């Protein structure tokens, strides 16, 4: 069993923490309400990274975002990795833990990518079994993130929102909705990003992520977006966030910037824009009308 009474993250803007921002963040935290770390960067026994994280956890709510469990992999989860993750969560006691709907391992090989899955009944059973194992081991509910996609599998029998909804029903996990991933996948695969959000199980969303993407073209010259986390959030993604919040209501919103990391003040300005989006959420009555309209549109 896992703890179903965890304190949720505040519905405020957050940023993905980078050590080069430590001093500036401590000196000037406005408008950041929480921080997120990548689990694999903090699985050691000590040193400056752990000392800084301990200090930050006294000042900010912290969430842990995993990138190495390979939730969708065919093999069993790595027990050593899971043990180290449990040790981190036990001492840090993060407000949430999340991982990706993806795989990154095969036999003894680890790939530095989050690779896509076919949405089949067999995949569904495997992912749910792995989530059950994680939640039991950690003693806490986890959040599962929707992927950024560059191809679709011909043998998929579920669409992605329904696949994620069924995972939450079977396991009790929550969801991390990455709005940039939705926009990237919609552009690459040719579907409506707003239609995807309208169909998404928003009631299960515990965090929303934003990040930058790069523009490219495929071999046929069609637009191809790459989820790079290496630049500012694009204007269409901000607009999609507004649509999401109008349906879902206030949620913790994180800005990720993992490559070509900018000065603190650039990242702080992105967090301030997320704060503006949260402040502009419609009142409860209007949100109810928006949700009903989205359901009817399906």
CA–CA dist 87, 261 (Å, integer): 28
* Least confidently predicted of 56-70, 211-225, 239-253: 211-225
- How many Cβ atoms from other residues are within 10 Å of residue 95's Cβ? 24
* pLDDT for the residue numbered 75: 84
Please say if the pLDDT value at position 294 is more than 70. no
pLDDT score of 111:
45
> Residue 149: which pLDDT band, with cuts at 50, 70 and 90?
confident
Average pLDDT, the chain: 90
Q: What is the bridge-based pairing of β-strands 109-115 and 103-106?
A: antiparallel
Instruction: Taking residues 76-88, report their average pLDDT.
Output: 95
pLDDT beyond 60 at 163: yes
Give the per-residue pLDDT at 109. 53
Binned at pLDDT 50, 70 and 90, residue 297 comes out as low
Q: Band the pLDDT of 4: cuts 50, 70, 90.
A: low
pLDDT bucket at 32, cuts 50 / 70 / 90: very high
CB 148: neighbour CB atoms within 10 A? Answer: 23
Hey, where are the domains in the chain?
13-297
- For position 220, what pLDDT does the model report? 80
Write down the pLDDT at residue 192: 98
List alpha helices for 4-153, DSSP H.
22-27, 48-59, 79-92, 121-138
Kindly write down the DSSP assignment for every residue of 236-260, as one continuous string.
Answer: HHHHHHHHHHHHH----EEEE--SS
Contact between 70 and 109 (Cβ < 8 Å): no
d(CA 71, CA 74): 9
Q: What is the pLDDT of residue 6?
A: 79
| pLDDT tops 90 at residue 10 | yes
Q: What is the CATH number of domain 13-297?
A: 3.20.20.150
Angle subtended at Cα 16 by Cα 14 and Cα 18, rounded to the nearest 5 degrees: 130
Lowest-confidence range among 33-42, 67-76, 195-204? Answer: 67-76
Nearest CA among 292, 293, 204, 186 for reference residue 240: 186
């Amino acid at each position: 069993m896992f703890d179903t009474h965890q304190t949720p993250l505040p519905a405020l803007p957050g940023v993905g923490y980078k050590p080069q921002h430590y001093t500036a963040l401590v000196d000037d935290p406005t408008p950041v309400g929480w921080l997120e770390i990548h689990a694999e960067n903090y699985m050691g026994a000590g040193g400056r990274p752990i000392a800084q994280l301990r200090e930050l956890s006294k000042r900010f709510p912290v969430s842990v975002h995993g990138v190495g469990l390979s939730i969708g992999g065919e093999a069993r989860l790595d027990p050593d990795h899971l043990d180290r993750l449990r040790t981190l969560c036990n001492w840090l006691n993060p407000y949430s833990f999340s991982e990706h709907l993806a795989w990154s391992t095969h036999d003894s090989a680890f790939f530095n990518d989050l690779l896509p899955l076919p949405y089949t009944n067999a995949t569904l059973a495997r992912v749910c079994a792995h989530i059950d194992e994680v939640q039991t081991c950690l003693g806490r509910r986890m959040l599962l993130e929707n992927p950024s996609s560059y191809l679709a599998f011909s043998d998929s029998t579920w669409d992605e929102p329904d696949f994620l909804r069924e995972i939450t029903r079977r396991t009790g996990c929550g969801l991390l909705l990455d709005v940039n991933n939705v926009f990237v996948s919609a552009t690459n695969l040719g579907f409506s990003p707003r239609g995807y959000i309208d169909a998404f199980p928003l009631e299960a969303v515990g965090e929303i992520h934003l990040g930058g993407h790069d523009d490219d073209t495929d071999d046929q010259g069609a637009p191809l977006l790459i989820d790079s986390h290496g630049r500012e959030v694009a204007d269409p993604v901000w607009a999609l966030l507004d649509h999401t919040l109008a349906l879902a209501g206030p949620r913790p919103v994180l800005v990720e910037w993992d490559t070509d990391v900018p000065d603190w003040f650039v990242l702080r300005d992105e967090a301030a824009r997320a704060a503006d989006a949260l402040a502009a959420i419609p009142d409860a009555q209007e949100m109810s009308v928006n949700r009903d309209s989205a359901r009817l549109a399906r």
